[in-house]
């Protein structure tokens, strides 16, 4: 590994005054028995650079979880700065890689969340709340067709009713304007329903004209359909449980070791 050691840095950071940490990235195979889907996820951890041997290794409290999305590789032009930072030669990294691999297998515990309905896993360090919110967005995408159909039906009923009253003869212009206002209000409410996607929409459609009850019926049917769909999406998003991964040499792949400056 001498002369070929990879170096990394957190994005938007400068190497000046940063200290080196031993950095490892690897993939772990996750198998979801519920869906029979095998997923491989990347994990990154850093540990202090210390003198280790077969008996003295890194323990679980020494591992720092790093986000793979925040790490980028860099080039180190002056290799001599490594010798000033490290208390051992760079040739020893081959040995350190083996020790670190064994330490990760024995001490590094991966605790995730799994959504059974969607067959997806949380990211390492992602909170349950954030994971559920992400699952909600994914679940919402899965119901996109149903939402479009509900919207299409409500818009069709609305336009048919509007066409009916547009052709109607009114007693006077005041009555005509009241009907027009009701349609304007109902259209705004329908748009709000699809924008908010939950049943907390307050609406007041003027009751003083003959179009009001029909418009209220369209709005109410749309609300009930969207409420039912919302509950399905919410149920899918919250179908979450803890998922512990027991690491072994068999489910770890592409194990690499480098230097993370932080």
pLDDT range class, residue 154, cuts 50, 70, 90: very high
pLDDT in tens, 207-238: 556 788 888 889 889 988 998 999 999 999 99
**Which residues have a Cβ under 8 Å from the Cβ of 239 and sit 6 or more positions away?**
115, 116, 117, 118
pTM comes to 0.65
pLDDT range class, residue 240, cuts 50, 70, 90: very high
Q: In this structure, what token pair is assigned to residue 57?
A: 């290794």
pLDDT at 3 over 50: no
pLDDT of 39: 78
Distance CA 260, CA 78 (A): 16
pLDDT in tens, 184-211: 888 888 888 888 765 455 555 555 567 8
For the ranges 45-54, 79-88, 100-109, 236-245, the lowest mean pLDDT is seen at: 79-88
């Amino acid at each position: 590994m001498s002369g070929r050691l990879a170096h990394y840095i957190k994005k938007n950071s400068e190497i000046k005054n940063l200290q080196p940490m031993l950095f490892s990235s690897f993939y772990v195979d996750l198998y979801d028995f519920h869906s029979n889907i095998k997923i491989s996820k990347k994990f990154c951890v850093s540990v202090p650079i210390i003198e280790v041997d077969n008996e003295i290794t890194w323990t679980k409290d020494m591992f720092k979880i790093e986000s793979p999305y925040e790490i980028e590789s860099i080039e180190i032009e002056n290799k001599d700065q490594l010798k000033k930072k490290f208390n051992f030669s760079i040739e020893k990294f081959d040995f350190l890689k083996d020790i670190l691999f064994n330490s990760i297998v024995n001490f590094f515990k991966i605790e995730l969340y799994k959504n059974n309905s969607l067959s997806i896993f949380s990211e390492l360090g992602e909170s349950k709340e954030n994971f559920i919110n992400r699952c909600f967005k994914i679940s919402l995408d899965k119901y996109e067709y149903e939402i479009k159909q509900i919207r299409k039906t409500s818009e069709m009923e609305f336009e048919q009713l509007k066409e009916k009253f547009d052709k109607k003869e009114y007693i006077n212009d005041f009555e005509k304007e009241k009907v027009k206002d009701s349609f304007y209000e109902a259209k705004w409410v329908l748009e709000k329903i699809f924008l908010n996607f939950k049943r907390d929409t307050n609406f007041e459609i003027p009751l003083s004209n003959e179009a009001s009850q029909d418009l209220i019926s369209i709005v109410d049917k749309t609300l009930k359909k969207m409420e039912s769909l919302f509950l399905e999406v919410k149920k899918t998003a919250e179908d979450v449980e803890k998922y512990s991964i027991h690491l072994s040499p068999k489910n770890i792949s592409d194990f690499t070791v480098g230097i993370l400056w932080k």
